A = this chain, B = another copy of it.
């Protein structure tokens, strides 16, 4: 009697990390965003996106890498983030806090909380970031949010 297995998109697999290059096999580096968003705070620099998987889940795990001096957009959205630093040293602006993190430290970003990721070192900084597969698009901050971040000495350096 045949074993009943549902059709699957992908077979079992090992996705090895090339530790010298810091790249997972078969996972392509893509631009962080496919187009510029012309709104205050939405600029970014030197960021790549690597979508690792998995097929058939309600979530997606991505690896983002920021070169020295790199930073992501300052944005917000309803879906949350749970990220783990896996390469180098990073900094996160999240709400009115600034966190440094590295070496598997995690950061939680609640819904609609302004956030930006930055490389805080002089080597590549990378983190794993898992999100809901179905999620809302990132939005720019509104004028009040930006003004509050710029008035706060802790967050002002990252509210550009």
From B53, B57, B78, A59 is in contact (CB under 8 Å) with: B57
A103 sits at the interface (CB 8 A): yes
| Contact count band on A | 35 or more
Q: Which of chain A's residues 112-150 have a Cβ closer than 8 Å to chain B?
A: 112-113, 115, 128, 130-134, 142, 144-145, 148
Residue numbers of A with Cβ under 8 A of B are 1, 3, 5-6, 8-17, 19, 24, 52-59, 61, 78-82, 84, 86, 92, 94-95, 97, 99, 101, 103-113, 115, 128, 130-134, 142, 144-145, 148
A52 with B128: CB separation less than 8 A? no
A110 with B11: CB separation less than 8 A? yes
Contacts of A14 in B (CB 8 A): 92, 97, 99, 101, 105-107
A81 CB, min distance to chain B CBs, angstroms:
7
22 A-B residue contacts at CB 8 Å? Answer: A3-B145, A6-B111, A8-B110, A8-B112, A10-B108, A11-B110, A12-B95, A14-B101, A16-B101, A17-B104, A19-B103, A52-B82, A56-B110, A57-B59, A57-B80, A57-B130, A57-B132, A58-B58, A59-B130, A61-B130, A128-B128, A130-B130
